[in-house]
Structure 1
Amino acid sequence: MWILPLVGYLGSIVGFCFLTLAIASGLYYLSELVEEHTVIAKRLLTKLIYSIIGLQLILWLVDGFPFGLTLMGVVSHVIYLGNMRRFPFVRLTDPLFIVSCVLVLVNHYFWFQHFSEAQQRSYSRLSSMYDQPDVPSFTEIASYFGLCVWLIPFALFVSLSASDNVLPTIGTEQPSRNDGKNKRQGMVKVIVDNVLSAIGEVTRLAGWKKPEDRF
């Protein structure tokens, strides 16, 4: 068969493009919701951080998760909590924000290393092919990563704003005028708008789109 594999590759590419657009649209909508309900979003994120810290401590006490990695996860979420002091305003050069971004990668690496080594040790102890390895399933590992490693950084990325033009609230450094022109925008909206603008500029330079046409 020659044509069917090509159809499979084409379908995979189209499906990936639609999935990417769906995720971008969902993040854009969530960012708008946070802009409209900032107080509720801050309260929800704060409670969510405390809940995940409690969950990590329970996993350490009951399921015997490693103390060092658990402590690193708890400290990371305490640092994530520090980003809430000026929520939803954030400066990309803020040391606390930079440390939070680094901790996301560090947590992912060490927890991935932990589960990989646990699986290797469990499979090496099997005496026969009929023995069942005592390791977490893929669903359990994915759920832990989704809730305890990625959820809060992902929620902060969607919720935080990248513009300096914020309304005067507690914790802001420079209140600005609400004249209808300067408006706080979420980081996701800024990124999506910049990507669309870049694509529109490329298509205009390539002659595929007239300057007066909207992308």
Structure 2
Amino acid sequence: MYFLYLMSLLSFGVQAIFVTLAIAAGLYYLAELVEEYTVMAKYVISWLVIITAALHIGLLIFEDFPLYLNILGLIQQCLHGVLLTDFPVVRVYSLTFVTAVAMLIGHHYMAFKFFGAVYYGFSEVVAYFTLCLWMVPLALFVSLSANDYVLPTTGEKQPLLSDNNVLTDYLSRKSKRYSLLSFFSFAKDSILPQRNKKAF
């Protein structure tokens, strides 16, 4: 009896590893697609923002959800819309980005508090968190790597270096890459073994 129980624990660990690798591979592929098709990514994320805002309005009209959760969700979608104005450039130290992250944390807290007090089925809770809380922030998180490959222009809103050299400023910012794709590339290079080509 204990042997089968230990086997089930081992199989659970193996399944968790496979699921984690599958999610990482999927996120890596999505980050590659966003880098390749930034205009289409902005279009898709814009529609995700609109759909999520419509879902919050639908919850307000058709369900007995508290007003504060829907107001938080609508404010969050407005902030996401503001973040999309400069897409694919996302400034993580901007007031809009910091406010959006703070609103996301607050929205999670309020949602956990509400679902802890009022009973809903597991699928309904997962549906709310997936569609109203995680869909747009995950899309924006995956698209952060697209900022690394945007060509520099002279019409940028931030002032460039003192000598107005666009290329020098771009390359100096390029060396500081903190994105999902650069993290996965670093993990791939440091964890996976490198194969050397044999010369015949």
TM-score interval for Structure 1 and Structure 2 normalised by the shorter chain: 0.7 to 0.9
CA contact (8 A) 1:92 1:162 kept: no
Q: Tell me how far 1:176 sits from its aligned partner.
A: 4.4
Q: Which moved more, 1:63-72 or 1:141-150?
A: 63-72
Q: Tell me how far 1:140 sits from its aligned partner.
A: 1.6
Q: Tell me how far 1:137 sits from its aligned partner.
A: 2.1
In 2 relative to 1, CA 194–172 (structure 1 residues): closer, same or farther, beyond 3 Å?
A: farther
* Higher RCO (CA 8 Å, separation ≥ 6 residues): 2
Query: What 5-or-longer segments of structure 1 have no aligned partner?
Result: 120-135, 201-208
CA contact (8 A) 2:48 2:135 kept: no
Q: 1:137 aligns with which of 106, 110, 121?
A: 121
Q: Tell me how far 1:73 sits from its aligned partner.
A: 0.9
Going by fraction, where is helix more abundant, 1 or 2?
2
Which residue of the partner structure matches residue 109 of structure 1?
A: 109
Q: Secondary structure at the match of 2:145?
A: coil
Query: What 5-or-longer segments of structure 2 have no aligned partner?
Result: 161-165
Which residue of the partner structure matches residue 163 of structure 2?
A: none
Q: Tell me how far 1:171 sits from its aligned partner.
A: 5.6
Cα separation, 1, equivalents of 2:7 and 2:94 = 48
Cα RMSD of the aligned pairs, angstroms, is 3.0
Q: Tell me how far 1:104 sits from its aligned partner.
A: 1.9
Alignment TM-score, normalising by the size of structure 1: 0.74
Q: Which moved more, 1:47-56 or 1:143-152?
A: 47-56
Which residue of the partner structure matches residue 188 of structure 1?
A: 180
CA deviations over 1:145-174 (Å, ceiling 9, x no partner): 100111000110011237555214676646
Cα separation, 1, equivalents of 2:41 and 2:76 = 20
Which residue of the partner structure matches residue 60 of structure 1?
A: 60
Which residue of the partner structure matches residue 19 of structure 2?
A: 19
CA contact (8 A) 1:60 1:67 kept: yes
Aligned length: 186
Alignment TM-score, normalising by the size of structure 2: 0.79
What letter is aligned with 1:62? F
In 2 relative to 1, CA 97–69 (structure 1 residues): closer, same or farther, beyond 3 Å?
A: same
CA contact (8 A) 1:91 1:162 kept: no
Cα separation, 1, equivalents of 2:148 and 2:29 = 21
Q: Tell me how far 1:187 sits from its aligned partner.
A: 2.3
- Give matches, 1:27-46, under 5 Å: 27-46=27-46
Which residue of the partner structure matches residue 149 of structure 1?
A: 133
